Amino acid sequence: MKTKKADWMKKWSKELIFTGAVFLAMTLWAFFQPFDSAPDEAMRYQIPAFIFNYGKLPHGGDPLIRSAQWGLSYGFGPQLSYIIEALFMKVMSIISKRDGALIFAARMVSVCCGAGTVWMTILMSKKLFEKKYRMLFVSLIGLLPQFLYLASYVNNDIMALFGSSIIVYMWICGMESGWKYKHCIGLAAGIVICTLTYYNSYGFILCSIILFFASLSIQKTAPKEIAKRAALITVLVLALTGWYFIRNYIIYDGDILAMNIGSEYAEKFAVDSLKPSMRQTPYSSGQSIVEMFMGKSGWFAVSWRSFVGVFGYMAVYLPNWNYFFYAFIFWISAGSLLLKAWKKKAGIVKPVCREKSAAAKSRLFHAAMAVAAVIPFGLALYYSYFSDYQPQGRYLMPMLIPLMYFVTHGIRIVLEHFIKPEKTEAVIRIITVIMAFIAIYAYLGVLILTYWGSLNHI
């Protein structure tokens, strides 16, 4: 037994060190970061604090948690992250009940989800890429400054990202194995996490349904077997998420997503400028969606920068070259992928996969990843244009894993065409080192240079 454990540790040593280093960095950031120095942390923390103090889920319009400014609370949204944060706070209260200790305990849920996401991407990389490209894919996710930042304070974005990472990994394993029951259970777990965490991640649920049935159909699985697996996933998801929608239906007069009731409270209790009927949006101002989207300070530019890394309340930026570096590798990747797609369509490039079923499953996977990336982008764009103009990269974070999957492939194509094979790994190391440097700079720059003197102490 000890020999097997030692062999496993040796085999996964690099991955464990990387995950451990990321976990430690996020933990220290969570420990020292001043409270409410991150977007909406104070409003979000009210929910687990309410659960911790009263032992029950709050009504979204409860005056104890309702924002005087916005007229509503995060109690109207999915509750899973807040429930787990309250549990962490209960455990911490055995040791200390100081405010700083309880806040740190709640933040540790985000830290654990961040580390869990990194580990899931490591597992994915071993199935998706050659050895030399694996850590590139993992680093594109695990070293992205905004990802590290999201994993250091109270929010539900990072748990939704963790749920989506489970879903994508189960897509890979399920199509590879013919959807064994353990992979069906894993897919259900990912769907449950996304369902009870963040509506922006619901695109992964839609894609899961399509991919599940389409992949089984491609490999000509018997209808009876498809029904068994579908029933298992459905029962697990309904059993673990049904309570949330039933509760909403009962206490919010049939509004199972609690969106309409949230708007009603905002209209009634928000300050005049933030009432839905009075709120200025690009649409109500007569601005076209193209005008909103474009420009140096337009929606895309601001969203892009904050997707890479903008800290505090959208106030602390990285040096411009950090954004240029990521923009460069992203656009190079996009260009190489489009060029390869055009060549393949024109018959210049031969298909990689000769087996029809394998090629079909590969196309299905790529399509699901593309759609899963586009949906949160479209939702964030729609929301900013019609409802509340907030160009923030955290709203795009559900697309992180599919996006970096395509970026990694794009970099691979460029390197294989322009770099000698023996020098490929050296170039990949350089790219990874630059990303690590940016992550360390973001970490030290924001944590020490920006927050020094007001650091949180437990």
At 326-350, the pLDDT tens digits run: 999 999 998 888 877 766 654 443 4
SS3 191: helix
Judge contact between 160 and 194, C-beta under 8 A: yes
Candidates 202, 111, 123, 121; CA nearest to 159 is 111
- Measured CA to CA, the distance from residue 410 to residue 139 in angstroms comes to 15
Handedness of CA 176, 401, 136, 4 (dihedral sign): negative
- Within 10 angstroms of residue 2's Cβ, the number of other Cβ atoms is 6
Candidates 46, 101, 54, 111; CA nearest to 79 is 46
Judge contact between 79 and 47, C-beta under 8 A: yes
- Measured CA to CA, the distance from residue 164 to residue 401 in angstroms comes to 8
The tokens describing 442, both together, are 């973001």
**Adjacent-strand bridge partners of 310:** 317
Residue 316 region, left (φ>0) first, then alpha (ψ -120 to 50), else beta? beta
pLDDT in the model for residue 355:
56
At 280-331, the pLDDT tens digits run: 888 888 888 988 988 767 899 999 999 999 988 888 888 899 999 999 999 9
- Measured CA to CA, the distance from residue 372 to residue 369 in angstroms comes to 5
All structural domains of the chain with their residue ranges: 29-450
**E strand spans, 300-361:** 310-311, 316-317
Burial of 272 (0-12, 13-18, 19+ CB in 10 A): exposed
The tokens describing 296, both together, are 């140096």
pTM of the predicted model as reported, rounded to 2 decimal places:
0.93
Kindly report the three-state secondary structure assignment for every residue of 80-127.
Answer: HHHHHHHHHHHHHHHHCCCHHHHHHHHHHHHHHHHHHHHHHHHHHHHH
DSSP string over 370-397 = HHHHHHHHHHHHHHHHHT-----GGGGG
- Within 10 angstroms of residue 381's Cβ, the number of other Cβ atoms is 19
What does the pLDDT profile of the chain (458 residues) look like in tens digits? 556 555 555 667 788 999 999 999 999 989 988 898 889 999 999 999 999 999 999 999 999 999 999 999 999 999 999 999 999 999 999 999 999 999 999 999 999 999 999 999 999 999 999 999 999 999 999 999 999 999 999 999 999 999 999 999 999 999 999 999 999 999 999 999 999 999 989 999 999 999 999 999 998 889 999 999 999 999 999 999 999 999 999 999 999 999 999 999 999 999 988 888 888 888 888 888 988 988 767 899 999 999 999 988 888 888 899 999 999 999 999 888 887 776 665 444 343 344 567 888 889 999 999 999 999 999 999 999 998 888 999 999 999 999 999 999 999 999 988 888 888 899 999 999 999 999 988 887 776 666 655 545 44
β-strands 316-317, 310-311 pairing: antiparallel
Exposure class string for 81-115: b at 16+ Cβ within 10 A, else e: bbebbbbbbeebeeeeeeeeebbbbbbbbbbbbbb
